[in-house]
Structure 1
Amino acid sequence: MASRIFFCLWGYLLLVLPATASAALSPYYYGGTCPNALPTIKRVVEAAVSRERRMGASLLRLHFHDCFVNGCDASLLLDPSPTIDSEKNALPNARGFEVIDQIKSEVDKACGRPVVSCADILAVAARDSVVALGGPTWKVKLGRRDSTTASRTAAEADLPSPFSDLPELISGFKKHGLNEKDLVVLSGGHTLGFAQCGTFKNRTYNETYNINPNFAQKLRSSCPPNGGDRNLAPLDPTPARFDIAYFTNLKYKKGLLHSDQQLFSGGSTDNLVKTYSSNPQAFWRDFAKSMVKMGNIKPLTGNQGQVRLNCRMAN
């Protein structure tokens, strides 16, 4: 009888814990409240990536951009309002918001109520996108809650710039509790997706010391000196496959962005680039670890924040 009473009490705690306790994040956070949550997110992400392979990179970036601005709290998803200067206005080429809306709708149906936060949806969708494009998996820690505010100013200040030099990149990551290894391995997420001409034009035409001249010449065909700033180029030769081509490119001075090539430019991160360019297992392992670490940047838990009914606006 005592064991049965304990089991009932434990089951009750599982149900109330998400709303009342300020606990550490856990991969099993929704085990008692919505066991269908993660399979539902995976299904929607896989369908979205199947329709458009580029979407996987976009969903990965959303989680990254969210966590780097006041923590992993879904502030990125809030639309502009009289009281909110949306972070969306600070993110060039940010995509994937409609997929997050679809996930939220499907998850709420699967759970029977809005129990899964938008911040957790971003974290799981990032993982599922990487897996869908051939990359590693990891246990996403869950239990984040959603912010009611956003900061475009913080987004413009805290998001790594494609024009940053290595010391600035190291400092920016250190500010969020991430070290040089995290910097290099998370930058490896650029093995997926594209960048706009405006983010690499200056490197293409004005840099000479750390760029392959044939690579620069090739880029100029899609990135003219005047105009064309929204034209796209792949961040590595296989932009829809999670592999080590990004790091191999850096070794041959073919990093698309100035900030990318800074990781292999005679500085303290060169050896990490060399390691990952020849050891995909190490890249996969360390990428998974760093994604978990990044996902733990200043989450709102317990009674902090809220679980939004609509990811685009506070309740």
Structure 2
Amino acid sequence: MSAKGSAMSNTTSAVKAGGTGESVFYRYMLELVLIAVAIMLAFCAPGFSTFSNLLNVMRAISMLGIVACGMTAVIICAEIDLSVGSGMALAGCILAWVVGACTPAMGSVAAVILGSVAAIVAGMACGAFSGMMKASFNVPTFITTLGLFAALRGAANLITGGYPLATFPGWFDFIGNGALFGLPFPAFVFVAVVLVMHFVMSYTTFGRAVYAVGGNAEAARLSGIKVSWIKTATLVLTGGLSALSGILIASQIGSGTGTTATGMELDVIAATIIGGTSLFGGKGRIWGTFIGVLFLGVIGNGMTLMNVSEYWQYVVRGALIVGAVMLSQVTDRRRG
């Protein structure tokens, strides 16, 4: 088989993960577990099944889910981004600084728009830097983004002086805390990102190239796919989505602060891996990530309502990651 045929074969098998030979049980295992956990929490966690609490879950998972959609593409490419939490903090701080500096001259609406564009461009630039380091010097994205993890958090604190920067106009609160048709506004943004990313990854040439690069980078290169460009593009996309999520969080808390989204990296990666994306690349679905985000949100909310210690919640998240990877390996062997 030619290199091109090999690459397209890997792409096809990845996009059609869970083909005709996969049982319904394995195909929808996570969904079934999510339903079982939700039913259990409805009986065990006081107030879990109330409408107001479910709205709180939707609002809480939206920012996480937006970033997880981008992280899915990065991990399918067999890369990783550890700087997303710091990028979210930096975006909020850039927005707050621009709004404070520009509102007197141009008004609050124009200042918020300018600050949002600046924040998103900065996030995308960080992704481009990670991709460039990988393409030009073969520095693993794990190392580059680990460095950015510290650098961006420091930059965010330098911008604010280490204190929350509350410069937003009153109407900006709607972006993070408002509701539309009775549902949290951030949830609409999250669903929109899910739908767009699902379309891009499932039905576009770029999406097929992402799967091909993650499945077999050398075969993809020989078939004419620009491997470095594809990897960089996924990192740029994730940087932009991290900034978008950071803007929503800044609106939610009413300020830009360098401590925003501390530890978010773990939750983003956990949601992606729990959703079935392989750390080895070439396999994953945006729908799976969506379910993984819901799963983490439901578990976290349920444990909080049951007064489970925050420390134990971190233990549970870590165990879920290990369990998801182990389950993925077991199911892959069964299919093989």
Q: Is the shorter-chain TM-score for this pair beyond 0.5, marking a shared fold?
A: no
TM-score, with length taken from structure 1: 0.28
User: Which has the larger helix fraction?
Assistant: 2
